[in-house]
Amino acid sequence: MTHDAASLEEDARWIRTIQSGDHEEREEAFRRLLVKYWRLIAVLTAQRIGDRREAEDITQEAFLRAFRSIHSLSKPMAFLGWLLKISRNLATDHLRSRRVSSPLDSIGDLPGGIEPDEPLEARDEKEHVLEAVAELPEKYREVITLKYIQGLDGKGMARLLDEPEGTVRNRLFRALEKLRAALERKRLRQP
Amino acid sequence: MKEPTVDSVTCLEVQDALREDWAGAPGQRLEGAEPLPVAVTFHIEGCMTCRGMAEEIRRLDRELGSSLEALASGIEAPSQERIDDTLRRLSEEDPAARLLRKLKRPLRLVLWGTLYAFTLLLCSVLAVALYKAILTQGR
């Protein structure tokens, strides 16, 4: 899915409907936003906490919190950035309460990550890439996931996150450099 | 128009252009990406270092696309049950708000009580201090 100006305008329209529409219209708008961003938030959370089921519960909680206080959102186009912040905080609280030092041990166990009948080399490569992404600092992991799961470019990301385009592009460059370096290190360590 | 040569642009400019190209393209393997400028393409063909970097970025882009898509495929869109549950919980009062509403009255009583007691204490201290000052001056 790509995010052009029309898609962003659509988000803003749904947010305005939630803020001022009648009960049925609001429910429909909630439903659409939930379906549109569910996977993105769930994937980001799963990468962070390493458990798909718990990630989906946290995702639901993040949507509930966002929807409950949506009236305080002054810029409807900044909805995703706001939702990401809520889910990030919830995941942090969850990790703190579970006292898990790192989610990386379980990233390879996430269902759907690796196909069991894939050739060994391809599986290794995917595992390395997923590990390298999981090892990235949060802000870099987020932009990489937005690019590949939500199909965004730097411009679309900047609009959705309500941040300057240059800042987001720089973050993407840094993420790319960090990934290249991490994968190079992993390849060198391989026998 | 002058034909571009390998030296029309520097390696640094080409590497910046490659990074810009990657960041500017939507995910899912550079679909819809703008073609690179002719001078940059020409340089890449003739420069081993830049060609290596271009290939590395393309490979990483492919690997990121397939790995993250595979990871995301394990996470499905929300089920109808999950959507209904979310909407049902939304229509209920927020548990935190409910708790706050329940606590509001006793909390208000405690706060006003404390303020009242503190004011009373302050007045007493001031009265005693004033009385002592009057007594000292009288002597």
Count of structural domains within chain B: 2
Do A83 and A39 meet the contact criterion of CB atoms below 8 Å apart?
Answer: no
Q: Which of A118, A160, A122 is nearest to A143 (CA)?
A: A160
Six token digits for residue A26: 């609001």
Neighbours of A127 (CB within 10 A): 16
ipTM given for this complex: 0.75
3-state secondary structure of B62: helix
The nearest CA of chain B is from the CA of A151 a distance in Å of: 4
Six token digits for residue A96: 């703190």
Q: Residue A95 to residues A18, A85, A86, B6: CA-CA distances in angstroms?
A: 31, 15, 14, 52
Q: Which of A95, A133, A98, A99 is nearest to A113 (CA)?
A: A133
Quick check: A129 and B19 CB within 8 A?
no
pLDDT tens figures, A22-43: 888 888 999 999 999 998 899 9
What's CA B51's distance to the chain center, in Å?
A: 35
As a 3-state breakdown, chain B gives helix, strand, coil percent values, each rounded to 5, of 80, 0, 20
Count of structural domains within chain A: 1
Task: Give chain B's length.
Answer: 139
Neighbours of A90 (CB within 10 A): 20
Whether residue B10 is found in the same domain as residue B67: yes
Whether residue B128 is found in the same domain as residue B69: no
Q: How many CB pairs under 8 A join A and B?
A: 124
Six token digits for residue A61: 């909680």
Q: What is the CATH number of the domain that holds A162?
A: 1.10.1740.10
Considering the domain boundaries, does residue B43 fall inside one? yes
Whether residue B11 is found in the same domain as residue B64: yes
Q: What CA–CA distance (Å, rounded) separates B61 from A148?
A: 9
Considering the domain boundaries, does residue B45 fall inside one? yes
A115–B contact, CB cutoff 8 A = yes
pLDDT per residue of chain B (139 residues) written in tens, 0 to 9:
566 666 778 899 888 888 888 887 766 544 445 677 788 888 888 899 999 999 999 888 988 988 888 888 878 888 899 999 999 998 886 666 667 777 778 888 899 999 999 999 999 999 999 999 998 887 7
What DSSP string runs through B9-59? S-HHHHHHHHHHHHHHS-HHHHTTPPPPPHHHHHHHHH-HHHHHHHHHHHH
Domain hosting residue B133, numbered range:
94-138
Considering the domain boundaries, does residue B98 fall inside one? yes
Whether residue B10 is found in the same domain as residue B68: yes
Quick check: A126 and B63 CB within 8 A?
yes
Six token digits for residue A43: 């994937």
Whether residue B25 is found in the same domain as residue B60: yes
Domain hosting residue A83, numbered range:
5-189
Q: What CA–CA distance (Å, rounded) separates A14 from A32?
A: 8
